[in-house]
Structure formats: C-alpha cells, structure tokens
Amino acid sequence: MRRGDKAQAEVTPLSLYLRRREFLALGAGSMVGARAVARVALASETELPRLTGVRNSPYSTEEEPTPYKDVTSYNNYYEFGTDKADPAAHAGSFRTRPWTVAFEGEIAKPQTVAIDELLSWFTLEERVYRMRCVEAWSMVIPWVGFPLADLVKRLAPTPKAEYVAFTSVFDPSQMPGQRRGTLNWPYVEGLRLDEAMHPLALLAVGLYGRVLPNQNGAPLRLVVPWKYGFKGIKAITKVRFVSKEPPTTWSRMAPSEYGFYANVNPAVDHPRWSQARERRIGEFFKRPTLPFNGYADQVAHLYDGMDLRRHY
Ligand SMILES: Nc1nc2c(c(=O)[nH]1)N[C@H]1C(S)=C(S)[C@@H](COP(=O)(O)O)O[C@H]1N2
Ligand SMILES: [Mo]
C-alpha cells in the first residue's frame, strides 16, 4: 500500500468506528465530544445497514484493523474482474436478495434456505481476524458472522461426511468476469470436516458492524484466517457434505501452485515468489509471515503427522 495513505486512514470509518466504540465505552462523554463525533459520522458514514445484536468474540486479535476504505476497495473477486479495484467498481449493483443457500449431500436433512431465514438461526459475532492473501499482502478485518461449526452441527453430517464443498453463485448476467474464461466457473472451495468444525472458521455476513459490501462477498462468504485468502469463497449458494476431497478453483487452475489445504506457511514458497514476508496494507515495511498466519496454537494440531510441504 502507498505510504501516504496512513494520514488519510485517520479520517476513514476505521478511526471513526474505533472512536465511537471508545465513546460508547466511556458512557456519554461531554456534549462537545458527542457533537464532534456526530459531525464526523455524517461526513463519512457508509450507506450499508448496521447489523444489530452482534456480540464480541474472544477470538479477536487486538491488532489495529485495516481502514474500511482499504478493506472494501482492494479485493480479489474474479467474477467482477481480475484487477483489485474491479470488485469495488463493478459489484455495486449485484443483487443479494432474494438469495438461497442449498445444503446438500451427507447431512440429516438436505434443504434450501433463504438467506434471511439462515441468519435467524444464529447470533452474530464480531471477529477481528488477521487475513493473509497468497499474493503476500495482509489485512486485519473486523468480520461479523457466525461460526461455521454452528451451521455444521445444525445440519448434522452423516458418518460419511468428511469434507465440506462450497460453491459461489453462477450468474454471468450480473458477473462480467463469468462471461470470460478467466477461471472455471462457478468458483468452488472446500474444507476437511474437522477444519470446518474448528471454532475459528467463520461464515461472514458483515464487516465493520455493517452488512457485507458486495465486493467482500455478500451476502455470505467463508473466512478461514489460518489459510490463504483464496479459501474465503464469496457469494456462497451451495454447501455440500461429501466423502472425498472436493475440487477447488485455484488448485484445479494451477495444481503446482495451489493446493487443497492452502495453510499459511512462511516455509513453503509459492513457486513464483516467497511466502516468508507480507505487506500489511497501510504499512510500509514488510513483516514476517507467521505459520498458520499466527493461529498455530489453535489450529496446528489439525495437521499433526501431515507433511505440510506436500500438502500445501
Ligand atoms: N467467489 C470468489 N471468492 C473469492 C475470490 C474470487 O475470485 N471469487 N477471491 C479470493 C481471494 S484470492 C481473496 S484474497 C479474497 C479477497 O477478498 P476479501 O478481502 O474480502 O477477503 O477473496 C477470495 N474469495
Ligand atoms: Mo488471495
């Protein structure tokens, strides 16, 4: 990210968000303070509705979140183009209602559920997670969502279920990238069932306390903070429980470059670049990348006995 952005970041909704939280925590504060906050809020409030009933999660990092502006304007979402500015530029009018999610395969009761009904099943949490893209940049994002494990438990997998396969929406009329053969459409991803059951795996419906912007994967996307960003499949319409490792878009595209696991691993380079360090968006100097993106204490046990150079 450009160095000069730091000063600008000070006036983005990030600082606003944190200040407002501080303000609420302090009680009312002085009237002068209240009026100042309200004025800034009017100047830079986004249009997206605020999510209510969101509880805080003990899984959040204390690191400073990346400014809202960066989180929502620097994305990979090839359905809207391959440039990182494309999703914010072209996803604005994408329709996220009506929307259904189909739950299929090895579960007690396969069913198709409207997104708002699905949301009524869970209490939303805010989870501030470090996110690491395979392209060696990273962000800290205050997601709002519910644990994937809660959904899996509710769907009651059969003993044959060993993997969970996710599918993004296929709608070339709304997604210009799908009219080109950039990737094999629709985008697909997968997790092993025990990965999907891990408490850090999240299904996100919002960020920064608001409804998820389209470019970030509205209305429903996966967040797996110990894996590279491409595992975080957006605009999910299908979740299928299967007995065999499902295909994933990037490993199908370039099997020598992208594996099924995609765990963040500074010791295993991408064939074309190093994974040892990363640029946190908004910072100038690179920082070292941590095994499992810093979540090793929580997740490393999932891979005991596996050769992580082979299973990248
Ligand atoms: N459907 C879909 N999901 C996707 C992608 C995509 O092209 N299509 N790109 C992935 C990649 S490579 C990254 S880094 C993240 C980036 O979005 P985020 O900043 O909102 O997490 O989305 C992931 N999910
Ligand atoms: Mo990525």
Of 7-16, 82-91, 163-172, the range with the lowest mean pLDDT is 7-16
Angle subtended by helix axes 31-44 and 13-25, to nearest 10: 150
Asked if the structure places residue 146 within a domain, the reply is yes
What is the 267 CA–ligand 1 centroid distance (Å)? 23
What is the rounded radius of gyration, in angstroms, for the C-alpha atoms of the chain? 19
- Give the nearest ligand 1 atom to 217 CA: 20
Expressed as residue numbers, the domain containing 285 is 5-298
Q: Please tell me the distance between residue 213's alpha carbon and the centre of ligand 1 in angstroms.
A: 13
Q: Which residue has the higher pLDDT, 310 or 41?
A: 310
Q: Which amino acid is at 68?
A: Y
Q: How far is the CA of 230 from the centre of ligand 2 (A)?
A: 4
Residue 143 lies in a domain: yes
Please check whether residue 307 lies inside any domain of the structure.
Answer: no
pLDDT confidence bin for 205, thresholds 50/70/90: very high
| Index of the ligand 1 atom closest to the CA of residue 215 | 20
Predicted pLDDT of residue 47: 80
CA 288 from centre of chain: 21
**Both tokens assigned to 260:** 């099924």
> What is the distance between the alpha carbons of residues 60 and 171, in angstroms, rounded to a whole number?
34
The bound ligand whose nearest atom lies closest to the alpha carbon of 82 is 1
- Verify whether ligand 1 is closer than 6 Å to residue 147 (CB atom): no
SS3 annotation, the chain: CCCCHHHHHCCCHHHHHHHHHHHHHCCCCCHHHHHHHHHHHHHHCCCCCECCCCEECCCCCCCCCCCHHHHCCCCCCHHHCCCCCHHHHHCCCCCCCCCEEEEEECECCCEEEEHHHHHHCCCCEEEEEEEECCCCEEEEEEEEEEEHHHHHHHHCECCCCCEEEEEECCCCCCCHHHHCCCCCCCCEEEEEHHHHCCCCCEEEEEECCEECCHHHCCCCEEECCCEEHHHCCCCEEEEEEECCCCCCHHHHHCCCCCCCCCECCCCCCECCECCCEEEECCCCCCEECCHHHHCHHHHHHHHCCCCCCCCC
Can you read off the two tokens belonging to residue 139? 């962000």
| Count of structural domains within the chain | 1
Read off the pLDDT of residues 24-79 as tens digits, 9 standing for 90 and up.
Answer: 433 333 333 333 443 334 334 458 999 999 999 999 999 999 999 999 999 999 99
Q: What is the mean pLDDT of residues 202-213?
A: 98
Q: Say if residue 23's pLDDT is above 50.
A: no
Q: Whose CA is nearest to atom 12 of ligand 1?
A: 230
Q: Is 139 domain-assigned?
A: yes
Mean of all residue pLDDT scores within the chain: 89
Q: For the segment 155-186, what is each residue's pLDDT rounded down to a tens digit?
A: 999 999 999 999 999 999 999 999 999 999 99
Cα torsion angle, 89, 127, 232, 309, sign = positive
- What CATH number does residue 70 fall under? 3.90.420.10
Tokens representing 110 are 């396969």
Which of 1, 74, 77 gets mutated to test ligand 1 (max ligand atoms within 8 A of its CB)? 77
C-alpha of residue 77 to centroid of ligand 1, in Å: 5
Report the separation in Å between the CA atom of 75 and the middle of ligand 1, taken as the mean of its atom positions: 7
Q: How many CA atoms lie within 13 A of 35 on its CB side?
A: 3
Binding site membership of 80 for ligand 1 (Cβ less than 6 Å): no
Token pair in block for residue 106? 């090895």
pLDDT (mean) for 255-267: 97
Residue 133 CB–ligand 1 contact under 6 Å? yes
Residue closest by Cα to atom 1 of ligand 1: 234
Please report whether residue 103 resides in a domain. yes
The CA-CA-CA angle for residues 8, 212, 25, to 5°, reads 65
Q: How many CA atoms lie within 13 A of 95 on its CB side?
A: 9
Q: pTM of the predicted model, to two decimals?
A: 0.88
Would residue 155 be called left, alpha or beta, if left means φ above 0 and alpha means ψ between -120 and 50 degrees? alpha
78 lines ligand 1 (CB under 6 A): yes
The pLDDT value given to residue 304: 98
Q: Please work out whether the CB of residue 217 comes within 6 Å of at least one atom of ligand 1.
A: yes
Q: Which residues pair with 207 in a beta bridge?
A: 143, 210
The answer as to whether 311 is a domain residue is no
Q: How much is the average pLDDT of 181-206?
A: 98
